[in-house]
Amino acid sequence: MAAWPKGVSGNPNGRPKKERALTAILERAGSASLEIDGKRIAGKRWVAEKAWEAMKFGRVTLPDGRVLQVGSVGEWLDVVKWVYTQIDGPVQPEIPVKFSGNVNTTTQADVNIDAGSELAEFIRAMADAGYIPAPKPEDDQVHTASTDA
């Protein structure tokens, strides 16, 4: 086999990404269809429906008729947390931020409302969605404030 010239890769696409074995197995298993009560349903959909059933009613009825009951409020809260983690993703930790010295701050009310401004457009969208109070037309000046932390 001939050697590659210096600086030229023998594998231009790089090493293939390592497959996570359990994740891949679960993905394949969840993609398979099940037949329940004469109906075909995707495995992932069935699991999602049963998770929602456990959260909603505190119990799950399996295809063979067995009923799994949530044993306590703590177990039920664990189911609720798990379902919402799947919907929203894991909770991001808060990162404390410390300031020292003079800090210039600009608040929503301090922003110059310019119709062509992307920032003004963003602020109006946030106000329209109810996340912040609507800016007042008279709030048309930029103010800076000094604070000592």
Q: Are 132 and 123 in contact (CB under 8 A)?
A: yes
Q: How many structural domains compose the chain?
A: 2
Q: Cα(62)–Cα(54) distance, rounded to whole angstroms?
A: 11
Segment 71-108, tens digit of pLDDT: 888 888 898 888 888 888 877 777 776 666 665 555 54
Are both 51 and 109 inside the same structural domain?
Answer: no
Are both 78 and 136 inside the same structural domain?
Answer: no
Are both 100 and 84 inside the same structural domain?
Answer: no
Q: Cα(57)–Cα(63) distance, rounded to whole angstroms?
A: 17
Inform me whether the pLDDT recorded for 47 exceeds 80.
Answer: yes
Query: Global pTM?
Result: 0.46
Are both 32 and 84 inside the same structural domain?
Answer: yes
Q: Are 107 and 144 in contact (CB under 8 A)?
A: no
